[in-house]
Amino acid sequence: MARNRIEIQNPKENHEEVALVALRRDRADLIKSISALEIQAKMIAEKEKEMKEAMLAAMEEYGVKSFSIGEGDEQVTFTYVGATTSTTFDSTKFKAENPDVYDKYLKTSNRKAYITAKVGGKKK
């Protein structure tokens, strides 16, 4: 009987919990597959970053600006891009100092729905 009172007090929260249990049960294989791919992608990205840093050092050492390897659609081109200086607009500072002007230039746009999945951290 106490459970019924909790459901009545928090109907939205209870519905989301029930829906999550159903989602995990009905789409367990999909969830596991996406999770495995995300873990692999993270590991690959970390390894790629390490290897690109080593390649950058090698291209600087040998003075090579660009080269390609492979054939056709399987070709990979490596291009050295030197350090640069860039100028960006500090919108956070501008908003703090000019909130009335900042609001005048805000633009609202619709975004397509999507999901994210991350490795690590605590997720429901």
What is the model's pLDDT at position 11? 59
Check residue 2 and give its pLDDT: 46
pTM, full prediction: 0.64
Placement of tokens 């993270």 in the chain: 42
At CA 69, angle to CA 65 and CA 70, rounded to 5?
160
CA 16, 17, 23, 29 torsion-angle sign = positive
Of 56, 62, 51, 35, whose CA–CA distance to 123 is shortest? 35
Residue-level pLDDT at 4: 43
Give the angle 18-20-25 at the CA atoms, nearest 5°.
Answer: 100
Question: What pairs with residue 67 in β-bridges?
Answer: 78
Residues of the chain with pLDDT under 70: 1-13, 117, 120-124
In angstroms, the Cα distances linking 40 to 22, 36, 56, 69, 92 are: 26, 6, 24, 25, 35
pLDDT at 121: 54
Give pLDDT, residue 74. Answer: 82
